[in-house]
Amino acid sequence: MPFGLLKYGLNRRYPKDPLYGKPKSLKPSYDVVIIGAGGHGLAAAYYLAKDYGITDIAVLDKGYLAGGNTARNTAIIRSNYLTPEGVQFYDESVRLYQGLSKDLDFNILYSERGHLTLAHTDAAIRTARWRAEVNKHLGVNSELILPDRIAELCPELSLAEDVRYPILGALYHAPGAIARHDAVAWTYARAAAALGVEIHTETEVTGIQIENGRAVGVETKAGTISCGRVLQAVAGMSSVVAKMAGLELPIRSIPLQACVTEPVKPFLDPIIVSGSLHVYVSQSDRGELVMGGSVDPYPLYSTRSTLEFKEELMMHMLELFPFIGNLRVLRQWAGIADMTPDFSPVMGATPVKNYYIDSGWGTWGFKATPVCGKRMAESVATGIVPDVLLPFALERFFRFEQVGERGAASVGH
Amino acid sequence: MKTLNCPLNGPRNITEFAYGGEVEKMPAPDAGAHDWAAYVFIEKNTRGVVREWWMHLPTSYWFIADRNTESNEVIATYPADEIFIEKTGFTGDG
């Protein structure tokens, strides 16, 4: 805003625009309590308020706003999955993302880059072709391309044949994008609060009250509240919170590490992913290379960093981009990922009545934020889990109907 | 570098080991699909001290480790026969 710039440009007392008014203390009762003020929980709160007129909602979080995996991902958005269930679901998410800045009047810096999943083996080429065909069948723009086309799209990528894993082809997904991950949570927080939703950060949930198999209240460090329905959206801590409701999940909590380099001039337009090399990289608007690798080899509830992760990641990064050898790593972090046996989420209703779950988001939760919020809101508001979520129900493991998602990132296939 | 003390091979880099899941009681062979699904897929995913299976990859040696999943501190490692003292009832006529 030019006028604001003139008025406050040289003033130290620039008025800070709060995203939302801090709510007063907790009320004794709410229609809906959402545990977890990350992207998913805030999006669900927003769609509950906007689409279903349910505004008596408290979103609780033990930490600060969107400080969990919403702040720790690599911000990639795509829908080029393998299973029809996955593709349809993420396609809806991509379409919601594309309109999000406009719909909610908040710039999430959505940047469509194109997404290349490199294939280094015949098996990977086969999977890429399979994914391309499933995607095309469902109206998602994906195609298998060969090195000549890869060189056009990403001339910086080393297509040398005398390396350990030469590039044979790639799955090209033109709508692949990145967005400012924090802004996604902020926009939902602001929009939800404007509709009357209360966001209580630093309010840790310590217990779930259940009567006759029905969730009736939530115990927090700031007191006990009764509620009509509860939605749990606490990736990384899903098993810990679910246990309070007496539920056990098919989830292991495993750290996923990532890092960024110092910023350099823009040179990398598309997002580059390699399942075989366990690498994914994109260049942020600031010029940093945002890089991630595979999940850690064993479960842990700690966001510590390891040298092994960096060694393995850099070894493969240098094979793809030999000239970045002199770049320094600026920051490194980890998030705790909810890993499921079939690399698909666990969402929907649970054996506890009025207790809904949004978990198992492994390494792929950020890209699902809008659709997950919208569809979980539908589940909570109507009590009917929509068709698009049914394949991801917790019971699938007892019916032996897993959704084997080999399009998931940072996991071996 | 994180090390794990293998009961057979001594302290080794943790990258030489594979994680094998929490030690849980296996259901009876005829326990039914539900119990077996729970055993195979559902995880306790304990936050705190856990008794779990590990394998030293180069020697294919399975053993047990007690590890704190919040601090990543390994409290003890020991051979599996310290807790599995009963013989399994395979008759060998299958």
3 state SS for B44-74: CCCCCEEEEEEEEHHHCEEEEEEEECCCCCE
Q: Quick check: A256 and A337 in contact, CB under 8 A?
A: yes
The C-alpha of B61 sits at a distance from chain A's nearest C-alpha, in angstroms, of 17
Would you state the pLDDT for residue A284? 94
Rounded to a whole number, what is the distance in angstroms from the first to the last CA of chain A?
A: 49
Distance CA A233, CA A358 (A): 5
Token readout for A373 is 């919020």
The C-alpha of A339 sits at a distance from chain B's nearest C-alpha, in angstroms, of 10
AA letter at A57: I
Would you state the pLDDT for residue A413? 44
Give residue B36's domain range. Answer: 3-82
Whether the predicted model's global pTM rises above the 0.90 cut: yes
C-alpha dihedral (A139, A141, A143, A148), degrees to nearest 10 = 160
The domain tally of chain B equals 1
Q: Quick check: A200 and A23 in contact, CB under 8 A?
A: yes
Distance CA A194, CA A115 (A): 35
Which chain B residue is nearest to residue A306, measuring alpha carbons? B1
Q: What is the mean pLDDT of residues A156-175?
A: 95
- Give the ipTM of the model, two decimals please: 0.90
A344 chain-B contacts, CB cut-off 8 A: none
For A35, the enclosing helix (H) or strand (E) is strand A29-35
Q: What is the mean pLDDT of residues A8-37?
A: 86
Q: Quick check: A355 and A232 in contact, CB under 8 A?
A: yes
**Bridge-based pairing state of the strands A252-261 and A289-295:** antiparallel
* Beta carbons of A398 and B18 less than 8 Å apart: no
Distance CA A335, CA B47 (A): 15
B38 chain-A contacts, CB cut-off 8 A: 248, 398
Q: What contacts 24+ positions apart, CB below 8 Å, involve B58-64?
A: B58/B16, B59/B6, B59/B8, B59/B9, B61/B6, B61/B7, B61/B8, B61/B9, B62/B20, B63/B6, B63/B7, B63/B8, B64/B23
A398 chain-B contacts, CB cut-off 8 A: 33-34, 37-38
The answer to whether B68 contacts chain A (CB < 8 Å) is no
A301 chain-B contacts, CB cut-off 8 A: 47, 69-70
* Beta carbons of B43 and A239 less than 8 Å apart: yes
Would you state the pLDDT for residue B92? 58
Q: What is the mean pLDDT of residues A222-241?
A: 96
* Beta carbons of B70 and A249 less than 8 Å apart: no
pLDDT of A98 strictly over 50: yes
Q: Quick check: A237 and A253 in contact, CB under 8 A?
A: yes
Q: Burial of A282 by CB count in 10 Å (0-12 exposed, 13-18 middle, 19+ buried)?
A: buried
The answer to whether B42 contacts chain A (CB < 8 Å) is yes
Q: Does B94 reside within a domain?
A: no
Q: Does B50 reside within a domain?
A: yes
Best mutation target, B12, B14, B41, B53, to test chain A (most A CBs within 10 A):
B41
Q: How many residues does chain B have?
A: 94
CATH T-level assignment (fold) for domain A113-174+252-339 = D-Amino Acid Oxidase; Chain A, domain 2 (3.30.9)
Which chain B residue is nearest to residue A239, measuring alpha carbons? B45
- Among the partner-chain residues A253, A298, A398, the one whose CB lies closest to the CB of B45 is A253
* Beta carbons of B15 and A307 less than 8 Å apart: no
Mean per-residue pLDDT over chain A, rounded: 93
* Beta carbons of A300 and B15 less than 8 Å apart: no
| pLDDT tens digits, one per residue of B5-59 | 999 999 999 999 999 999 999 899 999 999 999 999 999 999 999 999 999 999 9
The C-alpha of B78 sits at a distance from chain A's nearest C-alpha, in angstroms, of 18
Residue indicated by tokens 């939703």:
A197
Residue A27 confidence class, pLDDT cut points 50, 70, 90: very high
B41: left (phi over 0), alpha (psi -120 to 50) or beta: alpha
Token readout for A413 is 């296939």
Q: Burial of B10 by CB count in 10 Å (0-12 exposed, 13-18 middle, 19+ buried)?
A: exposed
| pLDDT tens digits, one per residue of A45-60 | 999 999 999 999 999 9
AA letter at A58: A
A252 chain-B contacts, CB cut-off 8 A: 43, 45
* Beta carbons of A299 and B33 less than 8 Å apart: no
Residue B68 confidence class, pLDDT cut points 50, 70, 90: very high
Would you state the pLDDT for residue A13? 77
Chain-centroid distance, C-alpha A173: 18
- Among the partner-chain residues B14, B15, B72, the one whose CB lies closest to the CB of A302 is B72
* Beta carbons of B43 and A307 less than 8 Å apart: no
Cα distances (Å, whole numbers) of residue A329 to A29, A272, A338, A409: 47, 18, 26, 22
